[in-house]
Amino acid sequence: MLVRFDVSRYARLLAAGLIAAALAGCGESADEETADPDAGAIGVFASAVTMRELAEPITGTGTIAAHKTTTLGPRVDGIIEEIMVRVGDRVKEGQPLFRTRDVELRLKVTELENQVRLAKADVRNTGLAFSRANELHAKGFVADGRLDDARSARDASQARLGIAEAQLAGANQMLTDSTVTAPFDGVITRRDVDEGKFMATRMGGLGGGGEGGVLQIMKIDIVAAIVTVPEIHLSKIEVGTKGRVYIDGIDRAFDSYVIILNDYVDPVTRSVELRLPILNEDYSVKPGLFARAEIFPAPRHGLTLDRRMIYGGETDRHVFIADGNVARRVSVTVRQVDAQTVEVLSGLEAGDKALGGPNAPLLADGIKIRIEAEPGQIAAGASDSTAQ
């Protein structure tokens, strides 16, 4: 039996089936869209506002100074006859450093020693004379006037002895002073004259050339970093505040503390001076080197946030925070703590989640968001899971 195949009817049925299938597919997509709450949301990262301790160092710059510095000149007038040390020599307290010519002083001492001997002899004679006069006066053989003369002669000779002894002591002191010794353990850092120079004490040790003295000595087994910091930090610093000193030319830092806080604030630079001691037993730290100090005030608590979450210019700082599944724009005031962190001064509270990430340029007030984990956080979570 011959069966006819109606091609046109088959084509119509096929088209109807395709249209029905397409409509059914469209209905499923619409239902799925309605069921997915993240549909149309942008993926962002979230960083929480946290309260933590802030220990911000205060930086100051300055110079290394010796513990003591003294310019030594002669103590008696005369020609500098011998200088016993050179620049760079390390000396001990009491060690002879230089000597003024002392020939005349020695002669003067000898002369005064003889005068003291004469005065002592005179005191003995007048003392004996007074004793005899006093005995004879008691027996009625010496008048009162003669006794008084003997007493006066005795007293005058004792006075002359006192003067002679004082003059001898002064001459001996000048002889001692002709040799200048180190006033403390230190190092010779300057030599201004050579032997043969006449120098006078009445000009503070200056000679005809106007030099500051013969030698300069510094005590540098302990040195100090003298640094200045802006006056706005004055309330955060006190004597005893910890610090660390970095010195040009030395590859290590020195832990220290504020030992002196100058009460004077420079009205021109608006800065205050601090001094931080450094133990320098090997003399490796030289006075005059440039120093930078970090001062560490007591830590304080503050709200902090990842600085990447801050947007806008200086006059329009703002963040976007998560409000459910939408973003909200919030104006903030912040202050930079370091390269990664800012301190939030106003606008946010602890626990608020600030938004950022590659899609940050798409953020706007009220836009739908989907919070995702940053790649680093995912890697860290995977490592933790593997370790467990």
Which CATH number do you get for residue 322? Answer: 2.40.420.20
For residue 356, give its domain range. 42-54+301-376
Looking at the fold, whether 360 and 321 belong to one and the same domain comes out as yes
In whole angstroms, what is the distance from residue 160 CA to residue 314 CA?
89
Say how many C-beta atoms besides its own lie within 10 A of residue 305's C-beta.
Answer: 22
Whole-structure pTM value: 0.64
Q: Per DSSP, what are the bridge partners of residue 181?
A: 96
Q: Is residue 184 part of a domain?
A: no
Looking at the fold, whether 291 and 305 belong to one and the same domain comes out as no
Q: Is residue 185 part of a domain?
A: no
Instruction: Please say which residue of 299, 318, 351 terminates a domain.
Output: 299
**In the structure encoding, which two tokens stand for residue 160, read together?**
């002359």
Looking at the fold, whether 318 and 330 belong to one and the same domain comes out as yes
Burial of 235 (0-12, 13-18, 19+ CB in 10 A): exposed
Looking at the fold, whether 265 and 291 belong to one and the same domain comes out as yes
Which CATH number do you get for residue 116? Answer: 1.10.287
pLDDT in tens, the chain (388 residues): 333 444 444 444 444 444 444 444 544 444 444 455 666 788 999 999 999 888 888 999 999 999 999 999 999 999 999 999 999 999 999 999 999 999 999 999 999 999 999 999 999 999 999 999 998 888 888 888 988 999 999 999 999 999 999 999 999 999 999 999 999 999 999 999 999 999 988 755 444 444 469 999 999 999 999 999 999 999 899 999 999 999 999 999 999 999 999 999 999 999 999 999 999 999 999 999 999 999 999 888 899 999 999 998 888 899 999 998 899 999 999 988 888 899 899 999 999 999 999 988 988 999 999 888 877 554 444 444 444 4
Say how many C-beta atoms besides its own lie within 10 A of residue 200's C-beta.
Answer: 15
In whole angstroms, what is the distance from residue 214 CA to residue 207 CA?
9
The number of domains in the chain is: 3
Instruction: Please say which residue of 299, 324, 346 terminates a domain.
Output: 299
In whole angstroms, what is the distance from residue 82 CA to residue 324 CA?
90
Looking at the fold, whether 291 and 251 belong to one and the same domain comes out as yes
Instruction: Please say which residue of 299, 331, 347 terminates a domain.
Output: 299
Looking at the fold, whether 251 and 287 belong to one and the same domain comes out as yes
Looking at the fold, whether 285 and 349 belong to one and the same domain comes out as no
Run of H or E residues at 20: helix 7-35
Looking at the fold, whether 249 and 269 belong to one and the same domain comes out as yes
DSSP sequence for 111-141: HHHHHHHHHHHHHHHHHHHHHHHHHHHHHT-
